[in-house]
């Protein structure tokens, strides 16, 4: 397999200005005819060969300026069609290929999902449709004519505007689409089949009327109302917050059950996997509703950040993804609760991105190389990328960030650009320089920042000494200091924020409150290996509230004492940092109990911790969802990540111990929270109702962990009386913590109720897959043979196999049975769908973190995988890098 490097980027020799596609859809084969207007890619012109990408294509003919090429005028290999001596200047290229979408299980290119035709071209799937320069800096105007049987494929969709449609002989019909905007081929889409739509409309800020359509099989139409609501909210939000208006008269969303990713932002024809569109109160949880809102927003926001301004090459992926994730996070924050959303995003970063950044697959948000681009649609590119974008906003404020965005669009609309272009727009719009900031794009690894503080009574100064350390990562043994914005406040002994007036840094005295207004949070620009900041006029020793709102994606190691942390948990005006103080305490507690457990000492819970959580649980002023988050312990992965040798059994035992101990000591408060947060109102997805349900469900799970008859009864009655999936599923999940008849009966009952709904059945798979009950590997093995399971459907694979690998206890079973299970599944999957297989094999990548026995067992599976015949490049890349 060939590795591709960012440093080797070259502009294309040939440009494609227009692309006219014609599809003849058929059950046996589909014929694709493309007509491309080609022009030279540089001033001088060129006569070098024109190499086009292609995979799994049967070439029927190739013409240049209307003349069929002779066999010695071009070459074909399994990956390319090369025109050996193209004419100088502008010319027409016509290519006809034959493809077999019904056999395409990779779900990349043109494929069938439940009978309908559908495409997925990002990153490099267009080359499975026709020979093309499949790279994002080749941007063209497209037309697309689709022809097919009218009964089988009544709906024919592509990008842009519908220009013509009509009937043809033999029961066929056609549609002609034209997209007025230049686009790279990864944004091309085609959908054909039996679909119905929910239609609505949106009037943009300049008065343009936009027709909105969400397409699904007829029976699912009632489940599209939340998605339609989300789309309209997103359109409005982007106008209000960024001044960005939709640019066509039609916006389509199509729902397909079989899809590799969550969704795809094809110009005016977004394609979504069902889970991220379809929802009803009975069958979808609050979590599903929130995910739909976020992802509908995300794909819509791509219309500007991704489509109008796209990436020069795939290394720049974070330019569109980091930015668009940041935008969807802000959108969800504005529609819900900012602190709670921030907590959820930071938890995700810590649970998934930190481990990636500390393992063999660690890469900067802009990777330097790849074998398969599909392997770099990662939490690092997306979520850490979003944190990097957030730092600009932290530095420049909302209005400075907006200025930067405006300049970015003013400069680059219609272009394919780089991360430096975004950085330059941000800095230029704010007349600023951010030294060492670009390091975030090129250095991998989570920086650790150490902070120590001291207060000088006589001079009334408070000093913070910072040092930073970016750990070595594959290929990057040595690191440079990074620019780290640290938002900070000082809390006085009564719990109030102190006004911040002046500060010494870089040997200079700076006034903080420039317009005479006191300020309570300031952002320190920490950009060297070591730096000291001294606050003046500090009347008493404060407790510093560091990294407010999590202002940079780092690990913070401060000298705050336990009592400082309890103080912040109770008092910090920055709610995020109240939560964070609780998490730091919980992490310390868990790590110390893990040590006790490993030394076979009896476990005991610090009463101060129980008191701290009790106070939070009893608070009547705090947001209920915040309370739920604040009483939730850090996950197993987060703790294992902090240990020299990860010990899943010990961490699980400790977490279970603390959970039960809290449940028992806080039982009355937890019971009260369950009862007082019941509601007989009809389901609504708004922050207050979601918060109420979240708190109730969190408390119920604590209680049921006790496995006592009264709480089991309570959960059963909650389960039976639930009128929405959020509460029904939460009580089922609570009950399924404890092995036994009650659990088995509840799981069976739930399946019988919901077997007609494959999305709910996927949840049922996931719940069992992620269970930590003893002997769960065998259960999951059995579920693999369940009639409702299907290896070809990514959503089911992610639920069952992904769920299993993501839950440490069974996957890391000491006898290696979990590893063996995954090893076999990966090989099977790889034959069907390499992208999905490679996502699954990633679960092995951190095998070196475990004890020697586990290491040997996991390594053996990786070696078995890598030596398999016909392995995909996707799986090869992950497996080989994991073993390196």
Q: Which does 91 bind (CB under 5 to 8 A by kind): ligand B3K, Zn ion, none?
A: none
Q: Which does 261 bind (CB under 5 to 8 A by kind): Zn ion, ligand B3K, none?
A: ligand B3K
Out of 96, 189, 234, 264, name the contact with ligand B3K by CB under 6 A. Answer: 264
For the chain, the 3-state helix, strand and coil shares in percent, each to the nearest 5, are 45, 25, 35
Q: Which does 123 bind (CB under 5 to 8 A by kind): ligand B3K, Zn ion, none?
A: ligand B3K
Q: What would the DSSP string read from start to end of 448-462?
A: EEEEEEEEETTTTEE
Q: Which does 264 bind (CB under 5 to 8 A by kind): Zn ion, ligand B3K, none?
A: ligand B3K
**Angle at CA of residue 617, ends 616 and 622, nearest 5°:** 60
Q: Which stretch binds ligand B3K (CB under 6 A): 82-90, 149-157, 258-266, 505-513?
A: 258-266
Burial zone of 843 (CB within 10 Å; 0-12 exposed, 13-18 middle, 19+ buried): buried
Contact by Cβ (8 Å): 482, 468: yes
Q: Which is nearer to ligand B3K, 299 or 330 (CB)?
A: 299
Q: Which is nearer to Zn ion, 262 or 806 (CB)?
A: 262
* 234 makes contact with ligand B3K (CB under 6 A): no
Which positions from 312 to 331 touch ligand B3K by CB under 6 A, shown as an x/- string?
Answer: ---------x----------
Q: Which stretch binds ligand B3K (CB under 6 A): 17-25, 294-302, 396-404, 592-600?
A: 294-302
Given 122, 265, 299, 727, the catalytic residue = 299
Residue 263 Cβ, how far from ligand B3K at the closest point, in Å?
6
Residues 306-345 that bind Zn ion (CB under 5 A): 321, 324
Residues 6+ apart with CB under 8 A from 841: 822, 826, 865, 875, 878, 879, 882
Q: Which stretch binds ligand B3K (CB under 6 A): 298-306, 343-351, 531-539, 670-678?
A: 298-306
Residues 6+ apart with CB under 8 A from 785: none
Catalytic, 299? Answer yes
What is the DSSP-derived secondary structure letter of residue 519?
B
* 647 makes contact with ligand B3K (CB under 6 A): no
Which positions from 694 to 713 touch ligand B3K by CB under 6 A, shown as an x/- string?
Answer: --------------------
Q: Which does 374 bind (CB under 5 to 8 A by kind): ligand B3K, Zn ion, none?
A: ligand B3K
* 565 makes contact with ligand B3K (CB under 6 A): no
Residues 377-416 that bind ligand B3K (CB under 6 A): 377
Closest C-alpha to 647, from 656, 632, 633, 636: 636
Residue 375 Cβ, how far from ligand B3K at the closest point, in Å?
9
Side-by-side strand order, sheet with 80-83: 50-53, 80-83, 74-77
Classify the C-alpha dihedral 516-517-523-524 as positive or negative.
positive
Phi/psi at 308 (5° precision) = -65, -45
Q: Which does 580 bind (CB under 5 to 8 A by kind): Zn ion, ligand B3K, none?
A: none
Tokens of 366: 């802009």
Q: Which is nearer to ligand B3K, 91 or 300 (CB)?
A: 300
Q: Which is nearer to Zn ion, 324 or 810 (CB)?
A: 324
Q: Which is nearer to Zn ion, 376 or 626 (CB)?
A: 376
Contact by Cβ (8 Å): 138, 177: no
Question: Where are the extended beta strands (E) located within 700-750?
Answer: none
Terminal-to-terminal C-alpha distance of the chain: 15
Residues 243-282 that bind Zn ion (CB under 5 A): none
Residue 245 Cβ, how far from Zn ion at the closest point, in Å?
20
Q: Which does 594 bind (CB under 5 to 8 A by kind): Zn ion, ligand B3K, none?
A: none
Q: CA dihedral defined by 836, 838, 842, 847, rounded to 10 degrees?
A: 130
Q: What would the DSSP string read from start to end of 582-632?
A: HHHHHHHHHHHHHHHHHTTPPP---HHHHHHHHHHHH-SSS-HHHHHHHTS
* 134 makes contact with ligand B3K (CB under 6 A): no
* 374 makes contact with ligand B3K (CB under 6 A): yes
* 261 makes contact with ligand B3K (CB under 6 A): yes
How many residues sit close enough to ligand B3K to count as binding (CB under 6 A)?
Answer: 12
Q: Which does 377 bind (CB under 5 to 8 A by kind): Zn ion, ligand B3K, none?
A: ligand B3K
Residue 256 Cβ, how far from ligand B3K at the closest point, in Å?
14
* 299 makes contact with ligand B3K (CB under 6 A): yes
Q: CA dihedral defined by 280, 784, 858, 646, rounded to 10 degrees?
A: 40
Residues 110-129 that bind ligand B3K (CB under 6 A): 122-123
Closest C-alpha to 574, from 497, 512, 631, 629: 497
Beta bridge partners of 270: 253
Q: Which does 258 bind (CB under 5 to 8 A by kind): Zn ion, ligand B3K, none?
A: none
**H/E stretch holding 319:** helix 317-335
**H/E stretch holding 296:** helix 286-301
Q: Which is nearer to ligand B3K, 286 or 374 (CB)?
A: 374
Distance CA 41, CA 35 (A): 18
Catalog residues that contact Zn ion under the rule CB under 5 A. Answer: 321, 324
Residues assigned a catalytic role: 299
Residues that bind ligand B3K (CB under 6 A): 122-123, 261, 263-265, 298-299, 302, 321, 374, 377
């Amino acid at each position: 397999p060939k590795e591709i490097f960012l440093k080797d980027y070259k502009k294309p020799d040939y440009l494609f200005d227009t692309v006219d596609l014609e599809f003849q859809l058929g059950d046996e084969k589909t014929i694709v005819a493309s007509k491309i207007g080609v022009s030279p890619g540089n001033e001088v012109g060129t006569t070098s060969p024109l190499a086009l990408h292609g995979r799994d294509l049967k070439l029927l003919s190739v013409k240049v300026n209307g003349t069929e090429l002779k066999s010695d005028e071009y070459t074909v290999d399994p990956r390319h069609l090369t025109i050996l001596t193209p004419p100088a200047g502008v010319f027409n290229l016509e290519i006809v290929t034959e493809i077999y979408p019904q056999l395409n299980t990779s779900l990349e290119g043109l494929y069938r999902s439940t009978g309908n035709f559908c495409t997925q071209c990002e990153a490099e799937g267009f080359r499975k449709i026709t020979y093309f320069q499949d790279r994002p800096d080749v941007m063209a105007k497209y037309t697309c004519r689709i022809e097919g049987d009218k009964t089988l494929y009544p709906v024919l969709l592509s990008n842009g505007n519908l220009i013509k449609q009509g009937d043809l002989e033999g029961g066929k019909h056609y549609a002609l689409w034209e997209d007025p905007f230049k686009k790279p081929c990864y944004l091309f889409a085609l959908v054909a089949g039996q679909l119905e739509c929910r239609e609505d409309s949106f009037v943009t800020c300049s008065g343009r009327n936009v027709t909105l359509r969400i397409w699904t099989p007829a029976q699912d139409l009632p489940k599209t109302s939340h998605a339609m609501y989300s789309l309209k909210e997103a359109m409005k939000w982007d106008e209000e917050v960024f001044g960005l208006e939709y640019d066509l008269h039609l916006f389509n969303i199509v729902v397909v059950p079989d899809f590799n990713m969550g969704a795809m932002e094809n110009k005016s024809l977004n394609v979504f996997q069902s889970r991220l569109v379809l929802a009803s109160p009975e069958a979808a949880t609050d979590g599903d509703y929130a995910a739909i809102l976020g992802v509908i927003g995300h794909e819509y926001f791509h219309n500007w950040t991704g489509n109008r301004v796209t990436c020069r090459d795939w290394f720049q992926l974070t330019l569109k993804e980091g930015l668009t994730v940041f935008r969807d996070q802000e959108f969800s924050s504005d529609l819900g609760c900012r602190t709670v959303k921030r907590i959820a995003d930071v938890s995700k970063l810590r649970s998934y991105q930190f481990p990636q950044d500390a393992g063999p697959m660690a890469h900067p948000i802009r990777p330097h190389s790849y074998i398969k681009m599909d392997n770099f649609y990662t939490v690092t590119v997306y979520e850490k990328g979003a944190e990097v974008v957030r730092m600009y906003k932290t530095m420049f404020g909302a209005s400075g960030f907006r200025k930067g965005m405006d300049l970015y669009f003013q400069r680059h609309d219609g272009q394919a650009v780089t991360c430096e272009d975004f950085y330059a727009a941000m800095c230029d719009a704010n007349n600023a320089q951010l030294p060492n900031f670009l390091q975030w794009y090129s250095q991998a690894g989570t920086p650790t920042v150490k902070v120590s503080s001291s207060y000088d009574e006589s001079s009334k100064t408070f000093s913070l000494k910072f040092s930073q350390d970016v750990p070595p990562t594959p290929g990057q043994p040595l690191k440079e200091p990074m620019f780290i914005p640290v938002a900070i406040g000082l809390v006085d002994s009564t719990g109030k924020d102190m006004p911040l007036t002046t500060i010494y840094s870089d040997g200079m005295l700076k006034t903080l409150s420039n317009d005479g207004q006191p300020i309570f949070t300031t952002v320190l620009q920490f950009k060297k290996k070591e730096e000291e900041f001294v606050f003046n006029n500090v009347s008493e020793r404060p407790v510093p509230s560091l990294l407010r709102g999590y202002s940079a994606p780092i690990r913070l190691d401060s000298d705050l004492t336990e009592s400082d942390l309890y103080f912040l948990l109770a008092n910090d005006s920055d709610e995020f940092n109240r939560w964070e103080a609780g998490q730091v305490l919980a992490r310390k507690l868990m790590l110390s109990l893990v040590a006790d457990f490993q030394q076979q000492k009896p476990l005991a819970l610090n009463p101060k911790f129980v008191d701290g959580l009790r106070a939070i649980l009893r608070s009547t002023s705090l947001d209920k969802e915040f309370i739920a988050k604040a009483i939730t312990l850090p996950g197993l992965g987060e703790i294992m990540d902090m240990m020299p040798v990860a010990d899943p059994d010990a961490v699980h035992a400790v977490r279970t111990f603390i959970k039960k101990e809290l449940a028992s000591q806080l039982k009355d408060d937890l019971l009260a929270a369950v009862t007082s947060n019941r509601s007989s109102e009809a389901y609504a997805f708004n922050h207050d109702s979601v918060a109420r349900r979240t708190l109730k469900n969190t408390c119920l799970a604590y209680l049921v962990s006790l496995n006592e008859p009264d709480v089991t009864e309570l959960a059963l009655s909650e389960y039976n009386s639930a009128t929405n999936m959020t509460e029904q599923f939460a009580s089922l999940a609570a009950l399924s913590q404890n092995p036994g008849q009650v659990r088995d009966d509840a799981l069976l009952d739930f399946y019988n109720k919901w077997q007609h709904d494959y999305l709910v059945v996927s949840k049922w798979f996931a719940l069992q897959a992620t269970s930590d009950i003893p002997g769960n590997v065998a259960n999951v093995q059995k579920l693999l043979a369940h009639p409702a399971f299907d290896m070809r459907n990514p959503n089911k694979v992610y639920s069952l196999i992904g769920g299993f690998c993501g839950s440490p206890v069974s996957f890391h079973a000491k006898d290696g049975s979990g590893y063996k299970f995954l090893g076999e599944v990966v090989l099977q999957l790889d034959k069907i769908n390499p992208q999905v297989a490679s996502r699954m094999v990633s679960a092995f990548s951190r095998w070196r973190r475990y004890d020697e026995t586990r290491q040997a067992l996991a390594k053996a599976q990786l070696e078995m995988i890598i030596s398999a015949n016909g392995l995909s490049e996707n799986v090869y890349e992950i497996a080989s890098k994991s073993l390196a």
